[in-house]
Amino acid sequence: MATVPLFTQFPCKTVVPTSSNSKLQSKSPTLVSVNPINRRSEARTAVHRPEFKVRATDVNDEWGPDASERGSNVSVAEKEAEEAIESVEETERLKRSLADSLYGTDRGLSASSETRAEISELITQLESKNPNPAPNEALFLLSGKWILAYTSFVGLFPLLSRRISPLVKVDEISQTIDSDSFTVQNSVRFAGPLATTSFSTNAKFEVQSPKRVQIKFEQGVIGTPQLTDSIEIPESVEVLGQKIDLNPIRGLLTSVQDTASSVARTISSQPPLKFSLPADRAQSWLLTTYLDKDLRISRGDGGSIFVLFKEGSSLLNP
C-alpha cells in the first residue's frame, strides 16, 4: 500500500503486553519492528550514482582543440598573404602593360582605335584593383609632379598636333599638386629651335568626396623663355598639309643664330607674364579612380580619361 513506506521513515519499537492490559492485547494491532538494516538498504537503492565515462586520447594531442584552431588560423593567414602578393604582382604587370601600350601614341593623339580599346581595358582592370579606393584620404600620395602620358580629352589634341607653330612642339604636359596648400598647377612646356617656354594655370582645389575634387582656376602664367644650348633646325616642316624642305635655307638660318641667341637672352631676363582667367572657364572637377606611388588615373568632365606617371617613376621609361 502507499501508506507503508511513509511509516518506515519513523523509528518503531515493539510493545510487550502486560497482564493488566491483556484484554486490550487481543484487540490492539501488533506493531512490527522494522529492521534498520532493511531501511538502510532501501535508502541505498534510492541513491543515484553518477556515471563516469573514460575517453582514450592521443598523447600527441596534448594541446587539444586550441592547437588545431591555431593551425587553421595560420593556414588562413598564409593563404591571405599569398593572395595579397599575387594581387600586387598582377597590378604591377598591368601597370607595365599600360605603359607599353601608351608608347608611341603621342599622349593619345596618334593612338589607333584598337590601341585605345586596349588602353581602356587595362585602365578598367587597374581601377578595379585600386589600392587606395579613397585617394583624397591619402593626399600625401597625390602631392608631387605628375607627367601626362595619355588622355582622351580632345581639347588637348589641337595643342599636341603643332597647330600653333610647326617649329614648336609640346615637350611636356604636367600637373603639380601641393596637398598642404590645396593648390594645383597645370603646365605645358613648349620646345622650339631657340628656347623652351611654358604656359601654366594656377588653381585651388577642394575635396568634395573620397575620390572627387573641385578645381577653381585663378591665374594663367606665360613662363619666361629659357635659351637652349644651340639652335635645332629640322630638315623639313609641314604647313597646311604640305611638307617644306628647309635644307636650302639652312645656311641662312644658321647665320642668324648669334642674333637670335642675343634676343633670347634678353627675353629670358624678363619676369613671367601673369593674367586672370575668365570666370566662365575657371572651374572644373576631377575624379581619381586609381592612385599609387607611380600611377594616377583620373576622369574629368565629359568622361575624359587622364593617365599620369609620377615624376621619376620607372614607368616613364619605355
pLDDT tens digits along 18-30: 444 444 444 444 4
Full domain range(s) for residue 311: 134-316
For residue 50, tell me if it sits in a domain: no
Select the more confidently predicted residue: 51 or 138.
138
For residue 300, tell me if it sits in a domain: yes
Q: Check whether 295 has a pLDDT greater than 90.
A: yes
Give, as one character, the DSSP assignment of residue 293: S
Strands (E), the chain: 144-151, 169-178, 183-191, 195-207, 212-222, 226-227, 236-239, 242-245, 273-276, 283-291, 295-299, 305-310
Q: Check whether 49 has a pLDDT greater than 60.
A: no
For residue 291, tell me if it sits in a domain: yes
CA 23 from chain centre, in angstroms, equals 112
- The whole-number pLDDT of residue 146 equals 98
pLDDT category of residue 145 using cuts at 50, 70 and 90: very high
For residue 173, tell me if it sits in a domain: yes
For residue 99, tell me if it sits in a domain: no
- The whole-number pLDDT of residue 237 equals 67
- How many percent of the chain have pLDDT more than 70? 62
Structural contact between residues 168 and 183, judged by C-beta atoms closer than 8 angstroms: no
Q: Average pLDDT, stretch 250-270?
A: 64
Average pLDDT of the chain? 77
Cα–Cα distance, 79 to 15 (Å, whole number):
89
Q: Check whether 227 has a pLDDT greater than 50.
A: yes
Structural contact between residues 122 and 293, judged by C-beta atoms closer than 8 angstroms: no
For residue 110, tell me if it sits in a domain: no
**Which three cell numbers mark 83?**
593572395
For residue 125, tell me if it sits in a domain: no
List, in order, residues 6 or more apart from 161 with CB less than 8 Å away.
109
Domain CATH code at residue 219: 2.40.128.280
What is the tally of structural domains in the chain?
1
pTM of the predicted model as reported, rounded to 2 decimal places: 0.66
Of 11-20, 126-135, 258-267, 307-316, the least confident: 11-20
For residue 157, tell me if it sits in a domain: yes
